[in-house]
Amino acid sequence: MADNAPALPAPGSTILALVGPTAVGKTAVALSIGPALGAEIISVDSMQVYRGMDAGTSKPTHDERALVPFHLLDVVEPGSDFSVAHFKQLADEAIAGVLALGKAPLLVGGSGLYYRAVVDDLDFANVNGADEFRVEMEEELSGMSDDELHSLLTDLDPGAALQIPASNRRRVLKAIEVARQGDRLMSERQPSWSDFSSPYDLRVAGLEMDRALLYRLIDARVDSMMSRGLADEVLRLREAGLRSGTMAGEALGYRQLLDHFEGRSTLGEAVEEAKTRTRQYAKRQLTWFKKDPRVRWFRVEAGADDPPESLPGALERTARTILEYLSDKLEN
């Protein structure tokens, strides 16, 4: 291997993962079980990679990062052309580094495409077309209406937008794909997306809860993000060049507030839209991960009518069960 070749996890390496929808409590569980596993956490989140995007991405705090080492947070600027292929390279290097220390890599996140790229060692090459953008769109942007997608195309390629009506969703998506040329998945080199075959010794825990409770937590999280200064954060990033039409600019919460600051909605409408879009995204995340037969699901035993103060205890009980499940993989 060339000296400058990136480090890669060896086939058969043990990799642990914790997945699930946004706001379900993955970070809290990971912080609970990480020390007992002797793990370092590899964030599998398509938006936590961006520096300065803090209030709206629920990044772990500095105190939380002191409890368990985290990787792949704050690695690129929001304006960077950051692809899933680049993420996979960084994740491979981080996992190899954790394994070299004799520790367990624990992937934690809800970005299904990024998770599959790493655990199934998908092969990427710099070709145009193929499947990566289509899968990105399915995961990140499928909740956008025809008009919203057309607005995105207008930002990326105004000439194409003039020629393609918003009602022709297929052509709009294709034009967006072409406009955002970069690293693309070579589908002819990959197994089918339905072939869940990893070169690693993989064990995956999925975290789920009552849907009504999850949606309540999502709404509360958006309100908390606003109280922690998300609007001011978006304004600062906008002044630094953050725009809709980029991956960072399409992040939930950020896109809606950009629309507000550009005069397309009131602040109240932006907040409600962020809640709606996030609930829709959580539903798509569950659909994505439920297709993966390798995920063993663990339910947080709490309901929407339970008092909020009961949730930490329910998460801790679930964390203990997940810890037992993942520890068994390290011991055998």
pLDDT band at residue 135 using 50, 70 and 90 as cut-offs:
low
pLDDT at 165: 80
What percent of the chain is modeled with pLDDT above 90? 65
CA dist., res. 46 & res. 136, Å (int): 10
Poorest-pLDDT segment among 64-68, 84-88, 230-234: 84-88
pLDDT digits (tens, 9 = 90+) for 102-118: 999 999 999 988 999 89
- Residues in CB range of 34: below 8 A, 6 or more apart: 40, 41, 67, 68, 106
Mean pLDDT calculated for residue range 241-258? 89
CA dist., res. 142 & res. 280, Å (int): 9
Mean pLDDT calculated for residue range 189-212? 84
Q: Structure pTM?
A: 0.82
pLDDT at 126: 43
pLDDT digits (tens, 9 = 90+) for 263-318: 999 999 999 999 999 999 999 899 889 999 999 999 999 998 999 999 999 999 99
Poorest-pLDDT segment among 16-25, 35-44, 119-128: 119-128
pLDDT at 176: 74
**190: pLDDT strictly greater than 50:** no
CA dist., res. 218 & res. 213, Å (int): 9
pLDDT at 83: 81
Poorest-pLDDT segment among 49-58, 184-193, 225-234: 184-193
Assign residue 253 a region: left if phi > 0, alpha if psi is -120 to 50, beta otherwise? left
Q: What is the DSSP letter of 14?
A: E
pLDDT at 134: 55
Largest CA distance in the chain: 60
CA dist., res. 221 & res. 126, Å (int): 37
Which among 148-157, 191-200, 294-303 has the top mean pLDDT?
A: 294-303
Which is it for the CA torsion 91, 92, 95, 101, positive or negative? negative
99 in Cβ contact with 105 (< 8 Å): yes
pLDDT at 180: 60
Instruction: Show me where the domains of the chain are located.
Output: 14-122+190-331, 126-183
30 in Cβ contact with 107 (< 8 Å): no
Which is it for the CA torsion 205, 49, 33, 330, positive or negative? positive
Assign residue 72 a region: left if phi > 0, alpha if psi is -120 to 50, beta otherwise? left
pLDDT at 205: 98
- Residues in CB range of 22: below 8 A, 6 or more apart: 58, 110, 218, 221, 278, 281, 282, 285
**325: pLDDT strictly greater than 50:** yes
Pick the more confident residue, 137 or 52.
52
CA neighbor of 9 nearest in space, from 94, 115, 130, 131 = 94
CA neighbor of 326 nearest in space, from 8, 9, 19, 11 = 19
Q: How many helices (DSSP H) and strands (DSSP E) are in the chain?
A: 13, 8
- Residues in CB range of 284: below 8 A, 6 or more apart: 138, 139, 142, 143
pLDDT band at residue 182 using 50, 70 and 90 as cut-offs:
very low
Average pLDDT, the chain: 86
pLDDT digits (tens, 9 = 90+) for 36-47: 999 999 999 999
CA neighbor of 223 nearest in space, from 248, 253, 250 = 253
Burial class (CB in 10 A: 0-12, 13-18, 19+), 103: middle
Name the class of domain 126-183: mainly alpha
Which is it for the CA torsion 145, 151, 157, 160, positive or negative? positive
Measure Cα distances from 12 to 8, 109, 159, 227 in Å: 12, 22, 49, 45
Name the class of domain 14-122+190-331: alpha beta
Mean pLDDT calculated for residue range 121-128? 56
